[in-house]
Each structure stands twice: as C-alpha cells, then as structure tokens.
Structure 1
C-alpha cells in the first residue's frame, strides 16, 4: 500500500514539475537557512550548560541605590570571599576569579604569553573543568602551584609530561618559580570562563596590600549553594552580611541622599545564575550579549520556515481547481478521507525529504562563509543535540502535516459531484490563501523595516563625532614581556625625528577595542565636601590631550615642565559638574590619603561605547599604575606607510610583541560588532523571506492567471489594453501587500524602539522607513507578478476562448 502511495506521489510530482521545482527550491533554501540560524541560536543558548553543578552556581554582584538611581557592579573586594566562607558555612564552594592582566610563562629561556587567571582552591571543585593529569583532588594546594590547560601544556612542553615541571611566571615586577601540579581539559567554546593557566588567588596583583581593604574592588566571585537553598532565600540572608561589612558605605549613601529600595535597603548583594551570565551585562567576565539575539535568530528561522510552508500550502490550495476531478474520481472509486490524506502527505513528505537533502548540502557549502560573516565559532560539538534534534524533527513533521494533510482535507470536503465536474467554489481557498499571503508579507515588511532601522543606527554610531581624533592615532598594545615605562621612553626617542609622527603618549586603557581584544575600565569613589563622587580613572602620560586631539576648556594638560604633576589630575566636564564648582582648577581631591589637585578640565568626549552616556572621568600620571598601550598620532598623508614604519620600529624595540597595532577608528568599529551582526542577520533574513515569498507569489500568479484564462480572453476581445489587464491582475496582490505593511509597521516600531533603548545615543525612527518598506514590498510584488501578467495579456484570445 505504501509503495503505491509513493509511486503515485512520484508520478504526480513529475507531471507537475514546475510546481514541484518551486516547492523544492523554496523549501531547500528555507531548510538551509533554518539549520544555520537555529544552530547559531542553540550555540549561544548553550553557554555554561556543560557544568554539572550549573543549577546551583551563581555570580555575586553588588547593587547600590544611589541618589540618581540604581548602580550594579560585579567587581568585588578581596576580603569578601573569606568573609562569605566564615559567615555562611553552608556554602558548598566559593571562589574568586581574577584576571592577572595576561602574563608570561618562561621555560628553558623561552617566553610564552598566556592568560593567567587567579582563583581559590574551590574553583576546580565548583566548575566542570576536569583535570586530565596530575593532582585532581587539590591541584592548587600550595601558593606556587600552577594548573595549565591542555593546549597550554602542549604548546610549552610538546609531548613531554607537564606535571611536575617548574616554570617561571612574570608577576609584574619579578620572576617567580611555579610547579605545575595538574593539566585541565581545555575550556569549551561555549564557556563564559576561559583560562590558559590557573594560579592561586594570592598571586593576584595587589593582593597583599588590599587583602583587608573593602574599598578596592577588582575581581569577580562565584559561589555554589546547597541544593536545598534557592537564590531568593540566600539573597535575603545576605542583607545582614551587607550591613555587617558595608555599614560605613550605607551610612555615606544616606548622607548622599540615596533612596532605599522597596524593602528599605540601600545596598544589597545579588546573585546571577551561571546559565544567565552569558546574557547579563552586569557580569564582568561575560560578553553580556542580549538574550534577544539568539531568540531573534530562532524567530527569523521560524519566519523563514513559515513563509516556505505557506508557499507550499498556497500552491496546494491553488492546485485544488486542477486536481478537483482527480479527488472526485478517487472518492467515486471508494477512496476514504484517510487514504486521500495519506496520498497528499506522501507527496509532501517526498518534497520535504528532497528539500532537506538539498538544504543540508547548502549548509555544508555555506558554513565557512557563514562563520566568517557572522563571526560565529559555531562549534557543533558543544550543542545539546537532544534539544536540537527535537526542534528540527518537530518542525519537519509539522511542515509535512500542514502542507499535505490540510489541503487534502479541504479538497476532500467538496461534494463528489462538483469535484468530478470540476465545478468547485474557490471562495474558501482564496480567503485562506489571501490570509496566508498577508502573514507572509507582514513578516517580510517587518524584516525590511527592522533592517533599515538597524542599518541607520549602525551608520549613526560610526559617523557620530566622539570628541577625540580616532582617524590618525595608532594604538600599540605593550604586553608583558618588556618594561612598560621603558617601552614608552624608547618609542618616544625612536619616533622623535620621524616627519610623519606628530606626538606619542601612553595610557593604561585603550580607546575602543583593539586587536588584543582587551577592554577594561576603572571606577573609584571619593568623598568631597561630605558627598560621595564616582569617576572613571585613567592613567595617562604626557601629550595625551595633544595626541587624541582633546579640547581644554580651562587650565592646562600635564607637562614635564612641572615636577608636581604626578600629584595632579585632569578631569572632564561631567566630573567638573559633579564637583559643583564653576572653575574646579585648583581644587584638591582626597584619594587614598593623598590630595590630588585639579590642573585642567577637558571637553567631554565619548571614551566609552555609545550605548553609554558620557560619565565622569579623571586622568592622572601615576608611575605605579602600569601602562598598557602606546598611542602615536601621525599625519594624514599615507597612513598605511606610517603604520608599517611604526610597526617595524616597535618590533625592533619589543621583538616578542604578539598583539598587533591598530588605528583607533578600527577599534571604535569593533565595539559595534554585535550591532553589525544584528544588521547582517536582519538583511539576510529579509532577503530570504522576500525571495521565498516572491517564489510563492510567482507560482500563485501562474495559478490565478490559469484560472482566469477565459475571463482575460473575453476582456481582450472587448478591447481591454495590456496595461489594463496587468493592472487588473496585480491589483489584488498589491492590496494584500499594502494591508501587510499596515499591520507590520506598528509591530516593527515597538520591536525596534525597544532595541534602540540599549543606546544612550540613538536615532529617531522616521515615518519614511515604513513608507519605504511598503513601497519596496509593492515594487517587488509588481515585478514578480508582471512577468506572468504581461505574458497573459499578450496571449492570443482565440486560444483562451477555445471550447474544452
């Protein structure tokens, strides 16, 4: 029986090759797009899901209710973790996680640059980073113990056994011996926590001087709760802990006019579940991407698949007129509804199987380009294939049933006598077909609008003046294998006589995101006139203002002519407003027991991404604060040649330098890769939905014209012109698309207006965007339908009026 169904289905598809081809191509493109987009979404949603204790691990962060709102920080003080262990003995595990700022491991006279993370002993007990060789029970028992990742061990020792070897670690000012006690498995690609090597937290920079200091926050903390303790309950228990150790801070918040939360608390400790860290902007270790993006990918994949399925259903409904006699004859011969349904489902299944096979081939072919365009690692090994397979199987079965069973049931519901004579009413079919076409073009218009707005915002971010010179400044990461102050000194000397170099300076923080992928900030508070002030702090060097082209509004910048400038600061206008003085030059601010005098005020500039408003900034020259970058301002003439010459000199000064130099405009653009990726997703989704919709529209136009052949012949005989006939056929489709654009516009406005709220600086959504989307959809539809409309209008009316 099944064999006969398959044979009949094959004959039917072969007889109607054009419709079968349109369906297979449309569904194949849809399947290919859905597989790529869904795999990307599942990859993003899989972050940190591989840890065995994932449901009981949390990151701790501090929430403060200041006078201007709520402020969150994941950066915590060093003594907090020991205090947590002492006050809450029921905590299963707790560990600090510090960034050593990158470090150099030396073995047999050879240097290796790696990311060294400092942690407590509980770290490897809490997280699932299995030890594959060495001491698995207490790998960080001693303070000079070191755990390497498998890749790091292989890079340094090759095929030699790493465990037991002694290496030297550059901790900033001196070389210290460390014993490798274990090798851990490499961190998966879908891990928010990454490391090349692990050392005890006692090796964290500044540990000894700050181990009892609650006012300096510089690392993140993770804890594992017992299964019987939930997140909400533990946060309530933390209230007493906060009052015990942050009493002075709470008192100062009250003095500053802070408003408590609905439970009367001015400061709280909160928890972020481990599986939410990848999507949380508070977390210092995570990329903080919006959960909206993977959900968006899944939605677009559903949109594309839905549109392809609608095409499939519309074509099947459109063929009801031509297949009515076939269904009628089958019913006369005794075919039951179930048998008709089975026949149509077989046809649908065959088309879907062919489409899926072609779609998988497309995925294999496009995967390398897709990874490059969307900057996605897309590691298939880390996916939860149970969920992935369930998603695809559910979608595949739903398509087969919808596209096969529903048209069959609808056609089988006609009276047998009408079906045999071919005299069936298409009213129901047309209403359903039109409804599905409206949904199709609502999605298409929605994506066209979203694409346009996302492109406008991205273009706005790239073109907005930032208040500093980003086009002629080269940023050079210094690294850890050279004395940083010496590196700046040597670069100044080497470039002093270069005709293309205008100025050279140094800083501890980059502008934008450089090729070393490093991004950091430093925020410290101080009390001035009884009020707490918070500011971003930046260690700079002489000629910083000149190199970045900043504008002084009062006072002066740092100068070697003044020997006291190491106790001076330069602030921005926003910081000056916080101080409340008309001219803050000359004011002294208390910082770490010292008085730092304001010598200059610079005009506000965007030193952070445009998602954030300009915040207070304080700049100073402090030799104990290490430099991380050298900035070189060059003339605008032949900047590629200047880059090559400066890079050559830097290699001579620091032959072991790894990270490459870059222009600041490149760094600024890297800050918006997420938005660029979103824009590309919108564009790709919009193009695919439009292409698939047009394929369906073309096929429906063919069916409509076939059904109206005699009507068109009569109109031509009565004198109708070609434009009249084309307009007559196109009118119905244009009306449906205009209705679709009206429905899509408010939905798109709500979605994109909500997305724009992530940016402190953003465009205003213009009315013309919605008109443009509607006009684009109408134009595409007219072009698609016109091919068949003109062909029908030019046809010989004698043929169309010939008797059956």
Structure 2
C-alpha cells in the first residue's frame, strides 16, 4: 500500500512540473534557512563547551557604582586570587590571574606578533587545555612559556620546540615548556595563542600583589564540584571592602556557561546578551520555514477542484478517509525529502558566505549521526506540517457531489488561503522594517560627531623597550619623510579609554563626591595629531614648561566635576596639583551608542604605550607606509612593523549591529522570495480558475489594464491587510530593541511607508506576469466549450 502511495505521489509530482518547482524551491529555501540558523544556534549554545571543566569554571566579576551608574566588569585586583585560595579553599579548587596583550615572539631572525597572556600556573588546568607536548606542571617555572600548536609550528616548523628559547618583546627569554592544541573558534580563549608565567619578573602585575585599588587583570577559578555558584557569590560579595571602600565595590562569580550568552549586566545581575539573538534568529528561522509550509498548503488547497474527481473516484471504489490522508501526506513527505536534497546543496554552497556574515567557522557535521537524526526528523516534521491541512481538507470531499459535477469549493473556501498569504507577508514586512531600522541605527551612530578627525590616523603599539625614549627624534624623522603630518604618544588609542581613576579633588567639590574619570596620558602633539577641537583655553604647548603637569578636560569631565570657568583652576590628583589649561570637545572613544566618558588628558610620557600617526593626506597611503616602515625599523628593530587604521578600529564598534543587520537582510530577502513564489503560484491558479470570466469580459470590451487590475486587486488588498498588522508589531519590537542604546535613531514614518510601498510593488510585479498573460489570452480558446 505504501509503495502505491509513493508511486501515485511521484506521478503527480512529475505531471505538474511548475507546481512541483514552486513547492520544492519554496520548501528547500525555507529548510535551508532553518538549517543554517539551527547550525548557528548550535554553535552559539556550544560556546566554550570544548573545556572539560565547563560546568565548574567561573570568572570573578566586579560591580562598582561610579558617577551614579552601576556597572559590572571582569577587571579585578591581584591580591584577590590569593585571598580566595586561602580563605575560601572549600569553594575554590584553583584560581588564576591573567592579563592579556599583544607580544613579539622571536626565535633567531623569525619574529611574529601574537596575542597572549600572562597567567598564573593553574590556568591550563582550569581550562583543561589538551597538551600535545609537556604538561600542566611545567608551566610553574617562572621562565617557561606554553605555546599553541599553530604558534609552535610558526616559530619552529616541524622541530620539537620543548626547551627551546623564545625571546619575548626583545627583552625576556622564555623556555618552551609545553604545546597545547589550538582552541576552537567558538571559545572565549580562542585569541590566546600562548601563555607566559605570572610569576616572571618581567610581568609588571607582580608588583601589584598588595594593590587592592588597581583593577586591570582578570581572575578565573575552577570551583569545587559541589559549590553552589549563587551561595559562593554571596560569601565573597564584600571580600574587598576591608581593603577598598570606593565605588561601593562588590564581587560575584560568573559561570563559564553564561560568559557568552549572558554577558549583559544590570544592577550587578546578568540579564541577557547574545541569548536574545539566539531567540530572535530561532523565531525568524521558524517563521521562514512556516512561510514555505504555508506555500505548500496554499497551492495544494488551491488545486482542490482538480484533485476533487480523484478523491471522489477513490472514495467510490472503497477508499476510506484515513487512506486518503496517508496518500496526501505521502506526497507532502516526498516533496519534503526532495527539498532536503536541494537544501543540503544550498547549505553547502551558502555556508562559507554565511560564516563570513555571521563571523563563524561552522562546518557541515556530515559524520555526526545526531545531525542526520535531526535533519531527517526535521524534514519529516516539515512534511507533516506542510501536508496536514491539504490532507484533511481534500480527503473530506463528498464523492457523490464530486462525481455528479455539482461540487463547488464554496464561497469561503479561499479564506484560509487568504489568511495564510496575510501571515506570509506580515512576517516578510516585519523583517523588512526591522532590517531598515537596524541599518538606520548603525548609520545614525556612524554619523555621530566624534570630536576628532579619524581619517588618516594610524596606531602602532609600543611593544619593545627600544622604541621608548626616542619621541622627539623619531617624530622629526617621520615628519621629514613627508609621509607623516604629525605624531604623538599616549596610553590609549583614540578608540579606547584604557585607564579610569578616582581620587580627584578641586575647590568646591562636594564632600563624599568621588567621581571616576577616564585618564589618558599624552605627549605635546597629541591634540594636533588627532585633530581634537579646543573650545576653551589652549592646547598643551612646549612654550609653557608648566604644561608637564597640566590637565585638559573634555566637555563631559567639566560637566561631571561641576567646574565653572575651569581654565586656570587647580585639580589635585595622585599627590600633585594640576592646572586646567584647556577644554576639548567630547571625543567618542568608546561605544558610539553611549554618552562620552568624562576624560582627563594629562602630560605623562612615562605612561605612554601607543604611537598615533597622522598620515599626510597628499601622500597615497601605500607610498606613505613604505616611507614610515624604515623609520620604525630604525628605532624598533626588535619588532615587526604592525599598525592599525583608526578608521577600521572604530568600524569594529559596529560589528555586532552590522552582523545582525546583514543576517536580517538575508532572511528578509529569502522570506520575500518564498512569499513571492507562493503568490506566483496562487496568481496562476486564480488566473486559470477565472479564465472563462476573463474571456467573457474581453468579449464585452474589457481592456488588458482593466483585467490586470481585476486580478491584482485581490492580492494587493491582502498585502495592505498585512501592512496594517505588521507595522504595529514591527514598531513594538524594534522600539524595544532601540531602547538598549542611549544614543539611538528615531523611528520615522517613512520607514513604514517605504516598506509598504516596496511590499505592494513586489506583489504587483509577482502577480502581473500571470495577470497580463491571462488578460492577453484569446477569448475564443477559453469560451470554446460554452
């Protein structure tokens, strides 16, 4: 019996090629979207699960209230690690401090720049690194280094690296004690390519072992198996209070299982993060697949009159309804499994592009039996869902009416199809509106005045000791090349604020008020190099020797301090008095979606670790870099010339929103494509169903335009109804999404007008082909039987 079902299903599929193409194309695209999103969600949910101790690893987080705002971050203090190990050993099995950065690794003449970290000796064990050579214990040596496999190959090729010497930043020699397997892309520590011993004299953080007020390193822990994370957080909440009483500091532990998906904190509690994206794209994938299923339902029920006689004959010769249901579900399942073959091809072709858009390294898990179990179950479920309504609808026809020719589908038979079309276009329009709003928000933040000139700025990290102490001569040499307009040094690039401090005082400051300011150390020519805008007072100048202790405040710092006419006022900080010589326009150095950080710029060449260059705009960039590199090699021979364009660094601040927008665009286009496929099929059915009516109208004088309008109006009305539903839904969700940003674009009326006009235009284009084709048909053919 089942074989007979399949044979009849195949005949129907082969006979109606256009119908088959539309159904298979729609289902396969919908299933491909769902499969890609499923792979993406699996990758998101499996983040960090590479680590064997996944369920027992945690990071110690700090919550502080500064300038009236409560924030939670991963930076903590050095003495906390020993405090947890000794006083809370029952809860903390292992702890490890880390401090991440970029370093120069050299073996002979071979030099590479890689991201690594200083780490306490238990970190490899906490992360359960898979050691290829050496073991965890070997990292306890203060002169040791452990390398990832890729870095070991880059430095030593196929030779055994154990006990070989690597020179770090051209000043410290380390002995290779171990090589570990490269971490996968979907892990927090993927960027870490090597580990240096925390106990090394070369690690500056070793000097901070009793500094409870210097937050900058990170602290990770392996908890005991039965430790309750919430109870341990409560225990250590006030652990730093006896040592550090500023900013109402409290501590908590954040499980590795929540690092990636629950990274957003509010009032000291994890409230969400990427988990919201997982839900969002999961819902989108479900709806896109639903659109494809709706197409199948619509086209199957639309062809009901053509299948009516088949149903009538089958019932007349003894078929029961259950057999007919099985027949139609068999057809649906055959469509679904045909679509699965096409889906796998589509996903294989699309996956590299999808990975690029989503910033992933997902591979098709063909050898994983769970993948095939999920794919086949998913396809079976899709086939049943897509075929359920047609199966129960068609199998209910009465054989007597059908065979006597008195069967009519009824005046309300098309209502379910219309409802489904409305659902399709509602989803599609919501996606279109959402995509426009996401990109408008990105553009709005991009166009925000940044307070300096980004174009032509280059940043170079000062990694090796040779580059320090040559500021004036190096600057002169660079300017003499003609490729550099100016140069300066600082302790933060223009796209970050790396240092924040309290403890500032000034005349008239309210008792108990201790605000936190971003503190950026600069050299004389910083303002000219970055192109900041002085709005009061003057820039730092060599003409004023006292400027070595001067401050320049940004607008936000003036507002936070409450200083009236700040120029010439004295601020006390770090045991010294500093004269405010200037006020600059706020520079957007951190998130472009948030208010500018209140920042103090101070002259302190001893703090600097970043060089910023302004390339001469009259010199092509490639030519300029060719002239700049020899100067850096002259003053910094121990390091390869590596630089960052400030424009690119600033653009990375939009990467998450850009990724959401790009993915939403792809899904919106595919949703529209699926909806249009279904609309095209329905339009062809309607034109065929009304062919005699069209013939009569033509004989009576109706023009092609009149007939086109007649056939198109029904579909346009459905799209208008979709608009009326989609607009408030989209507004509600996108308005909520925008409110996570303090600096956000408004939702304007033209977004909805443009989306509506586009949806109607797409509908007319899709329907017009069939409508005009039917309107141009010779009425003699359609009326021949009358």
TM-score (norm 2): 0.92
**Which of 192, 210, 213 is equivalent to 2:211?**
213
Change (3 A) 1:502 1:687: same
Change (3 A) 1:385 1:745: farther
Change (3 A) 1:181 1:662: closer
The question of whether the paired residues in 1 share the 8 Å contact of 2:96 and 2:220 is answered with yes
State the partner residue of 2:730: 748
State the partner residue of 2:602: 620
Q: Comparing 500-509 with 9-18, which one deviates more in the overlay?
A: 500-509
Distance apart, 1:79 and its partner CA:
0.6
Distance apart, 1:633 and its partner CA:
4.4
State the partner residue of 1:160: 159
Instruction: Please give the per-residue CA displacement for 1:169-215, whole angstroms capped at 9, x wherever unaligned.
Output: 34xxx733333222222111111123222122234743243110111
Q: Comparing 552-561 with 401-410, which one deviates more in the overlay?
A: 552-561
The question of whether the paired residues in 2 share the 8 Å contact of 1:100 and 1:205 is answered with no
Does 2:199 align with 1:202? yes
Q: Comparing 83-92 with 760-769, which one deviates more in the overlay?
A: 83-92
State the partner residue of 2:502: 525
State the partner residue of 1:140: 139
**Which of 721, 731, 749 is equivalent to 1:739?**
721
Does 2:741 align with 1:759? yes
Cα distance in structure 2, aligned partners of 1:490 and 1:391: 65
Structural mapping, 1:147-546, within 5 Å: 147-170=146-169, 175-194=171-190, 195-203=192-200, 205-246=203-244, 248-249=245-246, 266-281=248-263, 290-379=274-363, 392-422=375-405, 423-427=407-411, 429-471=413-455, 473-481=456-464, 483-486=466-469, 488-499=471-482, 501-512=484-495, 521-528=498-505, 529=509, 530=511, 531-546=513-528
Instruction: Please give the per-residue CA displacement for 1:466-503, whole angstroms capped at 9, x wherever unaligned.
Output: 111112x3213235246333564454122333456432
Give me the CA root mean square deviation. 2.8
State the partner residue of 1:122: 122
Cα distance in structure 2, aligned partners of 1:750 and 1:43: 29
Distance apart, 1:315 and its partner CA:
0.8
Cα distance in structure 2, aligned partners of 1:176 and 1:744: 63
Does 2:687 align with 1:705? yes
Change (3 A) 1:745 1:209: same
Helix, strand or coil for the counterpart of 1:199? strand
Cα distance in structure 1, aligned partners of 2:642 and 2:109: 24
Instruction: Please give the per-residue CA displacement for 1:598-631, whole angstroms capped at 9, x wherever unaligned.
Output: 3322121212231221111112232332322322
Distance apart, 1:106 and its partner CA:
3.4
Distance apart, 1:277 and its partner CA:
1.4
- Structure 1, unmatched stretches of 5+, are 254-265, 513-518
Helix, strand or coil for the counterpart of 1:377? coil
The question of whether the paired residues in 2 share the 8 Å contact of 1:95 and 1:119 is answered with no
Distance apart, 1:55 and its partner CA:
2.2
Cα distance in structure 1, aligned partners of 2:312 and 2:394: 9
Cα distance in structure 1, aligned partners of 2:21 and 2:353: 26
Cα distance in structure 2, aligned partners of 1:593 and 1:712: 92
State the partner residue of 1:582: 564
Helix, strand or coil for the counterpart of 1:610? coil
Cα distance in structure 1, aligned partners of 2:740 and 2:128: 33
Change (3 A) 1:629 1:418: farther
State the partner residue of 1:44: 44
State the partner residue of 2:9: 9
Cα distance in structure 1, aligned partners of 2:706 and 2:630: 71
The question of whether the paired residues in 2 share the 8 Å contact of 1:451 and 1:682 is answered with yes
Change (3 A) 1:719 1:399: same
Cα distance in structure 2, aligned partners of 1:583 and 1:384: 71
Instruction: Please give the per-residue CA displacement for 1:30-59, whole angstroms capped at 9, x wherever unaligned.
Output: 333333333233223321122222222222
The question of whether the paired residues in 1 share the 8 Å contact of 2:78 and 2:97 is answered with no
The question of whether the paired residues in 2 share the 8 Å contact of 1:488 and 1:630 is answered with no
Helix, strand or coil for the counterpart of 1:140? helix
Cα distance in structure 2, aligned partners of 1:480 and 1:373: 32
Change (3 A) 1:587 1:213: farther
The question of whether the paired residues in 2 share the 8 Å contact of 1:572 and 1:617 is answered with yes
Cα distance in structure 2, aligned partners of 1:384 and 1:479: 47
Instruction: Please give the per-residue CA displacement for 1:95-143, whole angstroms capped at 9, x wherever unaligned.
Output: 334234222333345434332312223322222312222124x232232
Helix, strand or coil for the counterpart of 1:106? strand
Helix, strand or coil for the counterpart of 1:734? helix
Helix, strand or coil for the counterpart of 1:93? strand
Distance apart, 1:526 and its partner CA:
1.5
Helix, strand or coil for the counterpart of 2:701? coil
Cα distance in structure 2, aligned partners of 1:600 and 1:710: 84
Helix, strand or coil for the counterpart of 1:115? strand
Cα distance in structure 1, aligned partners of 2:423 and 2:232: 47
**Which of 760, 771, 779 is equivalent to 1:789?**
771
Cα distance in structure 2, aligned partners of 1:67 and 1:397: 57
Q: Comparing 26-35 with 702-711, which one deviates more in the overlay?
A: 26-35
Cα distance in structure 1, aligned partners of 2:152 and 2:626: 34
Distance apart, 1:384 and its partner CA:
12
Helix, strand or coil for the counterpart of 1:599? strand
Cα distance in structure 2, aligned partners of 1:388 and 1:32: 14
Cα distance in structure 2, aligned partners of 1:295 and 1:482: 49
Change (3 A) 1:495 1:169: closer
Helix, strand or coil for the counterpart of 1:96? strand
The question of whether the paired residues in 1 share the 8 Å contact of 2:487 and 2:611 is answered with no
Distance apart, 1:643 and its partner CA:
4.8
Cα distance in structure 1, aligned partners of 2:207 and 2:155: 33
**Which of 584, 589, 592 is equivalent to 1:607?**
589
State the partner residue of 1:629: 611
Cα distance in structure 2, aligned partners of 1:655 and 1:700: 71
Change (3 A) 1:467 1:344: same
Distance apart, 1:465 and its partner CA:
2.0
Change (3 A) 1:562 1:791: same
State the partner residue of 1:260: none
The question of whether the paired residues in 1 share the 8 Å contact of 2:79 and 2:212 is answered with yes
- Structure 2, unmatched stretches of 5+, are none
Cα distance in structure 1, aligned partners of 2:168 and 2:707: 82
Cα distance in structure 2, aligned partners of 1:743 and 1:659: 57
Distance apart, 1:16 and its partner CA:
0.8
Instruction: Please give the per-residue CA displacement for 1:242-272, whole angstroms capped at 9, x wherever unaligned.
Output: 44444x32xxx5xxxxxxxxxxxx4421232
Change (3 A) 1:112 1:548: closer
Aligned residues: 773
TM-score (norm 1): 0.90
Q: Comparing 399-408 with 441-450, which one deviates more in the overlay?
A: 399-408
Helix, strand or coil for the counterpart of 1:114? strand
Helix, strand or coil for the counterpart of 2:323? helix
Change (3 A) 1:290 1:130: same
Cα distance in structure 2, aligned partners of 1:431 and 1:319: 14
